[in-house]
Structures are given as C-alpha cells and as structure tokens.
Structure 1
Amino acid sequence: MLIEAVGGMQDIGRMHDIASVLVRHGLGDMVRRFGLADALARAGRALHIPQADALARLEPPAQTRRALEELGPTFVKLGQILAGRADLLGPEWIAELSKLHSRVPPVPLEALRPQLREDLGGEPETVFAEFDPEPLAAASIAQVHRARLQDGRAVVVKIRRPNIHEVVEADLRLLARFAASAERDWPALQPYRPVQLVREFARSLRRELDLANECRQAERIARNLAALPEVQIPAVHWAFTHERVNVQDFIEGVPGEDLQRVDRAGLDRKLLAQRGARVVLKMIVEDGLFHADPHPGNVFYLPGNRIALIDFGMVGRLPLKRREQLLQLLLGLVERRPQEVADVLLEWAGDRRAGLNLEQLEDEIEAFVDQYHGVPLAQLHLGQMLAEVTQVLREHHLALPPDLALLIKAFISMEGMGRALDPDFHMTAEALPLLRQVMTARYQPKAIAQRGWSLLTRTLKVAQGLPEDLSRLLRRARHGQLRVGVDIAHIRQVGDQLERASSRLSLALVIAALIIGSSIVMTVGGGPTLFGLPAFGLLGFLAAVVGGLALLRSIWRGFRGRGLDEE
C-alpha cells in the first residue's frame, strides 16, 4: 500500500523525509493517553533524542504545527490554509495552525546567482545601479532584496528559492495520492472532499510559485482600486520580471504590525481602520478578486493616512453567483434574518444535502442568528459570526466551497487588524452600507436589463441547438445506440450480498451432498478402511465438517458486519 501511495521511485526520497518528520512528531498524544510520557522522555534523553521531553507532552495540534513547519513550504502553506477552515477543524486546531509562519533562513546570494544571471541577463550588481546582497526578508518560497534601478528608483527584487518548484511538485503529488486514499478508505472524511481540497490548494500554490503571476494579479487589483486614492499598490517593472523573479517599487511606510510607529508618525488609527475595511470589502463584494492574506506583514501605512498592500501571491476569486450568495448571507447575519442564512448554507451544501437533517440545521441556524437579536450593530463581530457559521457546518459534516474559505480568512484577518488599530472598530458598521448599496444596485433597471439580456441570449443559444440535439438523439435511438443509465444507491452492496448468499447456499448444498453420499458409502462393505471404517465415507464426513465450519464462520462474520454497520 505504501508503494501504491508513493506511486513511483521519484518521490521515495521525499516520502522518507515526510515519514521521518511525522514519526518524530506523532508520539505525543499516544504516549500521553497511555501514561507513558515520563518513560518516553527518559528514553529520549538516554538515546539523545533532541527535545524528547518537550515533544512527549505536546498536544496534537502543537505536534502537527511543528511537523508542518519542519516539512517545508508546501505543508506550511497547507497549514495556513487550514487555519482558515473552521468548517473542517476545531478551535484548538485553528488557534495552533494560525501560529504557522513562513520565515526561514535566507539563501546566500551566491546560490542565487546562476538563476539571477539567467533571468535578469546579467549579474544583479550590473543590471541594477545598487543591489543589497543581504535580504530584506526571507520566506519559504522566495526572499526579497532591496535594489535601485539605473534611473534611481528604489525597488525590491523578489527571488524564488532554487529547486523549490521540484520539492513542491513532489509534495503535491504525495498529497494528492494520500487525499485520494483517505477519501476512499475513510468514509467520515468524504463530506469534506479531501481530493477537491488538495486540488484547490495545489492550484493556488502553483500560482504562488509563479512570481510573474503575482504581479499580474497585483495590477488587476490596482486597476479595480484605482477609484480609491487612499490605496497604493506597488508598480511592477516588467523588464526584469519573470516566473522566478519579480521587481516592484519599494514601499516606504510603517509596517502594519508596528503600531507604536503609527502613533509616532501622527497617523489616524481610526481612519486607517475604516479605510482598510473599505478596501477589503470593495475587493470582495464588488470586484470578486481580493488579497487573500492581508496580515500586518503585507500592509503598510503611508503619510496622509494612506494604505499600501503588497505580496499578491495568494488571491481569492469569487464569481458573480457566489458574491450574490455572500451578500445574502452577510445581510442575513447583520439584519438577523435566519431563513436567508439557512437558504445560502443549504445551497452551498449542494448534493450533500441528501443525508442532512434539514429541520435540525435550520433550527440551529435560527437559534444562532436569534442570539444576536437586540444586540447593537456596533457590538456585532462579523468575522466571529462567519467563523461560528462555519462551525455549524462542521457539526453537520458540511464543508465550505473552497473559494469561500479564503474569503472568511481575509475577513477575520482584516477585522483583527482593524481592532488592533482602533479598539472601537466594527467591521459590521463599515460593511452594512456597502452591502445594502451593492444589493440595491442589483435591482436598478439597467442591472435587471443586463441580466435579462444575458438570460435571453443563453436561452436562444440553447433553443438554436435544440433541433440538432434532438436529431442526434433520434439517430442513436434508431441505431440502437441509445442507452439509459440508472444509478441506484447501494446497488453494488446489494449485489455483493446476493453473491454471498448464493455462495453460502451452494456450499450448504455441497455439504449436504457430502453427508448423504458418505452415509451411503459407510453402509457398503469392502474397500479401504481407516480406523476400521470405510475410508471414503470417513473422508467425506471430515470434508462436510470442514465445510460446515467455514459456512458457520461466514454467517457469523456477516452478522458482525451488519451489527457494526447499524452502530
């Protein structure tokens, strides 16, 4: 099974590394449950296992976080994504995975030179008027160096780590195989669709590896935010930008996490919080393309209470239909309309509604929304409400659509930054006017006319192709090629049960024939004997006994399996 999971010799080395890390970090919970933490700690010290005493007592979420950090960029990014999935994980896991960081030791410039020469067309010291060999920041995928163009413009050069692409691709192959195995062998995980989760994660991570794609996304968002002069997105210098390196303007501002410098610079915290919320809401609700990782490290505050956003490696996309659902959900939460919230969640559940207790889910959502009845708008925490809604989904074994997980993560991050700037900041108060404005705009005559025209053109296109479709259907019917597939739930299981029943019946008939035949042989004289009895008759009885025991064992296992299924 291990060889099947690995799927080829190319990933054996990486598989060994992953297994080693998981083994090192996977003992804490087990030894604690068996009361062996002290024994393991003593054994670790005796065998000189580093930090064995501490590892033996770590909680599973902490074990997992440390393992992911040690496994490298793919797994760190996966953990960061999961930190925003309250619909999949409990609060203790979310809190621990939120501590994941991508800060790693930088790569020496000499190790980057061959790649830079190929991408820039020369040594960085000659391409740029100035180039700082010491990195400004280093993360798991890339590191950033300060530089100055020949015209004197200050820029940052973002360089992808050498060979990181090969490591990430090997990790993604292994994750895809493990997800498929988990979805096949662990029915409890199927509602969460691990294969789809890994597929979406792989798509996002591959986009992040392409540093030129990051710049394309930055420019798209800059165009969308052009009407907001209080926002700055660094300009891209395409002459030096490729898949493994990009060059953007250097942002001279106050880092988002340095609130003391914000005060020393005389900036208005309240205004910064309001403007930050307005930017995020516009990206999400109006544009459908948003910065999916707006943590303090990716935000700078500029003179004039302006805001700069950097690092667009991780962006989220929301199609129009999803934005409409989001508007309905947010307005339902803010204006305390539980039925609208329930309708959206059930629509997100899609084909997974078959096994749901819909009445119980609607009752829980109504109770959840009703608890905020009468609470002043200024006291509603929109990010917290969204997180609690996803917990309701998790309790009913439902998972959010992948594009919404990044959105909720962005909401919670921005609301946290807003409250750090201004303890009286309320995302709900900032969101409600924009939500109502966008919803009202949807019902303006021009918007209704556009949607009507779009629907009409799609209908005419379907009608235009209908004669050809009917003709093709009739041709197949005339030639006997028309087939109708009926998918009946559990049909394979029923077939297996019938096959087992027929096998048992056949075995019972054979046993009966052996008993009757052996009885006849025992009454006939002559022939070889065994223990004074006719040998063939005795052997027939022995075969009947063995067959009877096998039949009883099969029936007993069938009863046990049915009992487990009922439990």
Structure 2
Amino acid sequence: MLWQAIGAVRDLGRLHDIASVLIRYGFGDLVRRIGMAGALERAGRALHWHEPEELARLEPPARVRRALEELGPSFVKLGQILATRVDLFPPEWIAEFSKLQDAAPAIPFAELLPQLTEDLGEPPEAIFPRLEMQALAAASLAQVHRAWLADGTAVILKVRRPGIRPIVEADLRLLARLAEIVEAEAPELRRYRPREVVRHFTLSLRRELDFSAEGRSAERIAANFAAHPEIVVPRIHWPWTGGRLNVQDYVEGIAGRDLAAVDAAGLDRRLLARRGARAVLKMMLEDGFFHADPHPGNVFYLPDNRIAFIDFGMVGRLSEERRYQLAVLLHGLVSHDAEKVAEVLLDWSGGAEIDSETLQPEIDAFVDQYHGVPLKNLDLGAMLSDLVAILREHGLTLPPDLALLIKAFIALEGLGRQLDPDFDMAGEATPFLERVLLAHAAPGALVWRGWRALRDTLALVAGLPQDLRQLLRAARRGKLLVQVEVLPLKHFGDRLDRAASRLAISVVTAALIIGSAIVMTVEREPGLPSFGLLGFIAAVIGGIWVLFSIWRGGKG
C-alpha cells in the first residue's frame, strides 16, 4: 500500500498536491490504481474528482505537459529528461515535453541577498562594484544577475533559489516511491521503465543543483577546445563559485534564435553551421564528454564567426566502447550496412528478449530505402528518429547515456539546418566516424584491449579458489542461502496472512460471545454478569474490526 510506503508524514502535503493536479488533468484512474487516493482519504484530505471541460479536450501528451508545468520545478525538469527519451515516447510526446520551458518569475534580489552574502563570505558590493538587481534571466532552480568585477570584467552570478533544495528532495522521494508502485500496479506502464527514468532523473537533477559541478564541466570542455579559438566557453571564477553560486564570464553575442541579427552582423551562416557541428561531434566522438542540450538558447554567435556554448548543467558522458559502437552505427547508416546497424542495436538492447529474426528484416528494409541517396541529402537526425521508432515498436529501450546523445544529435542537426538549409550533417560526421573506427583498430589500441582482457581473466582465475573456498565453507556451516523472490507469490502470501488474521479474530469474537452468554446466565456468583458484559463489548469491537477489514480489502 502507498500509505505504508510513504512512511513519512512530511511528504503528505506534497503528495496531496500531486494527486490533486493529476486528478484535475484527467488522471484520476491512475491516482486510484496506485493507491494515492486511499492514502490521502485515510489522512483526512478530500480529493475533488471533477475534470474541467477545457482540459478534457486536450490530447494526452498536452495534458501531461500541462500537469508537469503545474507541479513545479522538479517535474518540469523531469519532463525535460523525458524529452530526451526518444526511445520510450513517440514523436508527439517528445514534441510536447520539448515545450517545457524552465522559466519562472524572478524573486526580489533582497530575498537572495542573505544567501549570496553567505556564499561570497562578504557583502556582494565588496567584490562587485556594480551589480544589477534586476534579474537577467530566471529559471525554476536559479536566477541570473549581471555584475562587474573591480577590473571591469563583466560576469554573471547564477544564484540557486533559496529553499529550493528541500522541495526538490521531497519530490524525488515521492517520485521514487511512485515509480515503484506504478511498475507493480500498472503493467501497461512498465514499458516506460519508470524506476530507471526516475533514477536517471535523480542523478541528473542533483548534479544540476550543484553549481560547482557545472563549473567543472565547463572547464573540462574548455580544456578540450584549448586549441580551437573559434569555440568559446565562459571562464569560471572559482574564488566565488560553489554549490549554490556560479560566477562566470558574461557572454555578449547574438542569441542562437536571432538569425536576422546574424545576417545583419555579416556572419557566415554556413561556416557557423559547420563549426558548431564539428564542435559537438568532437565532444561526442573524440572527447566522450558533451553538451547534452545544444539548443539555440544555449548557443551564441560572436564576431569572426566564433561560437560560444553556455549552460553546462546537463552534460553527457560516453565511454570509449560506447563511442565505438556509435561510430559503427552511424557509419553503418551512412554506408548502408544493415548488418552493422543491427549488431549495434542488439548490443544496446542489454540482453532484453527480442525476436532478432523480426528485427533484422525491418532494419534491412529501413537501411535499403536510403540506398543510392547522395551523402549530402541524408538527414541523419530523421534516420536516427526512424531507427529509434523501430526499437520502440519492439519494446527496446536505449541506455540513458545514448538516449541523451541521440536527442542532442537530433537537436544539433536541426540547429545546423536552421543556419544553413543545405547543411550536410552526414558529410560533417563522416571524418569523425572514420577516425574513431581507425583509432579502435590501431595496433596500440588492439594491444591495450588484449592486455586488459588478459589482466581481467588472470584476476578472475586468481580469485576463483578463494571464492570457491568461501562458497564451500558457507555450505558446510549451513549458511548457504538461495533467495528466490516471486512477487505474485509474495502478494498472495500477504493476502493469505490478512485472511488468517481475520479468521483468528472471528474465532476469538465467537468464543467471547459464547463465553459471555454462559457467564451472564450464572446468577449465584456476584460480578460474573459484569465480566460477561465486558466480553460482549470486546466481541462487538472485534466484529466491527473484522467487518471494516473485509470492507477495506474489498474496496482495494
């Protein structure tokens, strides 16, 4: 039961808010099925099950998006994570999740001042001779103010909203519990992997709340582009940067959405598209550490056709093996090699049950439809979207790091085509893919992988006697346990235990009735009728409990 899972009264008010919003947007049946309604009713909170007519006309993706917006910052961030899961949701859902804007009204600077002074260690005016009280931008977790250092350097102060951490942590606790219950009680929703999504979201949001982690990510990417002056990453000012405050250089340029200003400034759109694509491809395929949200709001165009990337709160990481697999996949799409594409997808399925005899022909047909298409006419973003749709139809999901990468890749190609309608993403990606494949097959790389495999094998063989000795010792002591947990049987056992409890109370109640009736007929002994009356009262209480238990079980 959800009431038992909650365990902490501190989250009950927030749970009521969540249930109310879900009901208002037409998800009352889900609230009932996962037990939220019963928990809140027992806590004495009323739920109104009326669904406004205006909301009833909305399509399900729009209703979910509106509900997430109303639920607050944590759920807006959750929607943004869901927008990266192109492997779980069809395009109409991804489009709605992508509309979630991380915007919020700015709070007065006076409310930020105590926290800002504490983080700086002294009043802000002692460090920033000039500081704009009006927020430059405001989001759900933080807001940004522009300031100037004593040497005239323009900077921004990204300040975390005071008191936001406890709210976020409460939401994360509830989401984790709700994900467990949804997987157990709503089988048709299991394909969306709610527990996996919430776990990934929790890690991402906690990293995003730590502004020093964002600073380290920015510095890491800046170091990777040290030899590329055309790519700009704002410098982090570490003396004043910490978990709740990020101070970095202010970037003054043309916003990625303002194409008219790009033309007015005389910048070369085609060059900007190529430089942006090469920068992100380098992050993905060479560095293995990439900006996971390269939308126009996080990109600025500077004089001399330079490009600045900002906001490294959401980054992705790819291991060397993942980069190789991605290179094989993309190279297979570009070179129309269906067998390579299928091999990678089967590896990514993570051992999930799949009918490869059905999947292989679909991938063959998919790749074959691009046979003979010139490289510059290939739309890699659309190809990846169609490929992920095939995975979705087979009930397969991508690992979170790859889902994030594919979403970033699709956003990157959209940004490139916005700058240059003739942008050739496949042509830009091909040299990077070939370098990754050649590096993987280089003699040094082969020797290193062979040595690593040999080392792991030797370590396994060396540890085998000790593992066997511990196993045999546990068996001799009778401490060798084999635990098999079958959830349906556990559920059946719980129901059987409740039925036995009701039966026991019923037997005791019947015995009290019979015993009390006998005692009350004895008139010679003083006081015995009183004991009989007490027995009848106890029997009434027991009977009421049994009836209430049966009614509650039937309702559940």
1:72 alignment partner AA: G
Count of residue correspondences = 476
**Partners of 1:59 and 1:279 in 2: CA distance:** 38
Aligned match of 1:7:
7
Q: Is the 8 A contact 2:137 2:145 kept in 1?
A: yes
2:461 alignment partner AA: A
Is 1:319 aligned with 2:319? yes
Where structure 2 has 5 or more consecutive residues not aligned to the other structure, the ranges are 31-49, 497-556
Distance 1:68 1:192, change over 3 A: closer
Q: Is the 8 A contact 1:192 1:398 kept in 2?
A: no
**Partners of 1:365 and 1:263 in 2: CA distance:** 42
Q: Is the 8 A contact 1:28 1:60 kept in 2?
A: no
Aligned with residue 455 of structure 2, among 457, 465, 472? 457
Aligned match of 2:190:
190
Q: Is the 8 A contact 1:192 1:397 kept in 2?
A: no
Aligned match of 1:408:
406
Q: Is the 8 A contact 1:191 1:352 kept in 2?
A: no
Alignment of 1:221-260 (within 5 A): 221-260=221-260
Aligned match of 1:23:
23
Aligned match of 1:422:
420
Does 326-335 or 291-300 show the bigger shift?
A: 326-335
Aligned with residue 430 of structure 2, among 432, 452, 455? 432
Cα offsets for 1:14-60 (capped at 9, x unmatched):
11222222222227999xxxxxxxxxxxxxxxxxxx99564342222
Q: Is the 8 A contact 2:324 2:440 kept in 1?
A: no
Aligned match of 1:76:
76
Per the alignment, in what secondary structure is the counterpart of residue 350 of structure 2?
A: helix
Per the alignment, in what secondary structure is the counterpart of residue 63 of structure 1?
A: helix
Per the alignment, in what secondary structure is the counterpart of residue 236 of structure 2?
A: coil
Aligned with residue 387 of structure 2, among 375, 386, 389? 389
1:76 alignment partner AA: V
Aligned match of 2:151:
151
Distance 1:63 1:189, change over 3 A: closer
Per the alignment, in what secondary structure is the counterpart of residue 351 of structure 1?
A: coil
Cα offsets for 1:368-410 (capped at 9, x unmatched):
1111111111111111111111111111111111111111111
Aligned-pair distance for 1:480? 5.1
Per the alignment, in what secondary structure is the counterpart of residue 122 of structure 2?
A: coil
Aligned-pair distance for 1:350? 2.0
Aligned-pair distance for 1:227? 2.7
RMSD, matched Cα: 2.7
Aligned match of 1:545:
none
Per the alignment, in what secondary structure is the counterpart of residue 134 of structure 2?
A: coil
The structure whose Rg is larger is: 1
Does 104-113 or 5-14 show the bigger shift?
A: 5-14
2:425 alignment partner AA: M
Aligned match of 2:102:
102
Alignment of 1:533-544 (within 5 A): none
1:149 alignment partner AA: L
Aligned match of 1:62:
62
Alignment of 1:31-430 (within 5 A): 54-353=54-353, 356-430=354-428
**Partners of 2:455 and 2:103 in 1: CA distance:** 51
1:162 alignment partner AA: P
**Partners of 1:170 and 1:134 in 2: CA distance:** 30
Cα offsets for 1:498-521 (capped at 9, x unmatched):
xx9xxxxxxxxxxxxxxxxxxxxx
Aligned-pair distance for 1:472? 3.3
Alignment of 1:471-550 (within 5 A): 471-479=469-477, 481=479, 485=482
Aligned-pair distance for 1:474? 4.3
Aligned-pair distance for 1:290? 0.7
Q: Is the 8 A contact 2:292 2:405 kept in 1?
A: yes
**Partners of 1:137 and 1:494 in 2: CA distance:** 52
**Partners of 2:186 and 2:56 in 1: CA distance:** 28
**Partners of 1:27 and 1:369 in 2: CA distance:** 40
Per the alignment, in what secondary structure is the counterpart of residue 226 of structure 1?
A: coil
**Partners of 1:491 and 1:409 in 2: CA distance:** 35
Per the alignment, in what secondary structure is the counterpart of residue 300 of structure 1?
A: strand
2:432 alignment partner AA: L
**Partners of 1:7 and 1:480 in 2: CA distance:** 36
Aligned-pair distance for 1:348? 1.6
Aligned-pair distance for 1:196? 1.4
Aligned-pair distance for 1:460? 3.0
Q: Is the 8 A contact 1:27 1:56 kept in 2?
A: no
